[in-house]
Structure 1
Amino acid sequence: MSRARVWKKRALADPDGPQLPVTAYHFFFLAKRTELLKGSPSMDFVSVGTTVHREWAVLNAAGRAPYVEQARVERDRYRQEIAQWRRTLPSR
């Protein structure tokens, strides 16, 4: 006897809620993508992603530090905004 799996519907994100914080890798990706596209504008997205990923993988902690710091600031901002946003929600 097999039962059909019942999928629960996921609640949609509140459009008025704060956006999730950007990660250190995302900050790095945005910076490097701009540099790569200036050098070769015909590069496709997959090639850019592969190149940036390889650079990130070999980057040491000192090289990652500025991006990690940006991510920390972004995460702190998110925590403050989510706490403020939760206070505005009606109690359950």
Structure 2
Amino acid sequence: MVTEVFTLKYCDPHALREEKVEATDVIQFAWEGTVREVDACTECKKEHETRYEPLVDYSRPVKKRRATKKADAKAAAERSDNEPSAEASTEDSTDA
């Protein structure tokens, strides 16, 4: 027999007021030198973002996004389209 278990996360700021609101987001904040997370609803998340600036973790390097192959091909084509004037000037000088 299989039993399904559903666990709901409740918004911690609302839980302090003894209200049960389902949490959909996570609030990050620094406390005593460590980054902590609290479950929050969208309303509390927006309120937190308006009050405080977001945390930036400088301990890990930021990963660069990989460009897609299509974008690389388009960029290369645009570069080659913009540079034929240099090739044309060398051909003109050899014709004279």
Q: Same fold (TM over 0.5)?
A: no
Higher helix share: 1
User: Whose radius of gyration is greater, 1 or 2?
Assistant: 2
Higher strand share: 2
Please report the TM-score for the alignment, with normalisation by the length of structure 1: 0.27
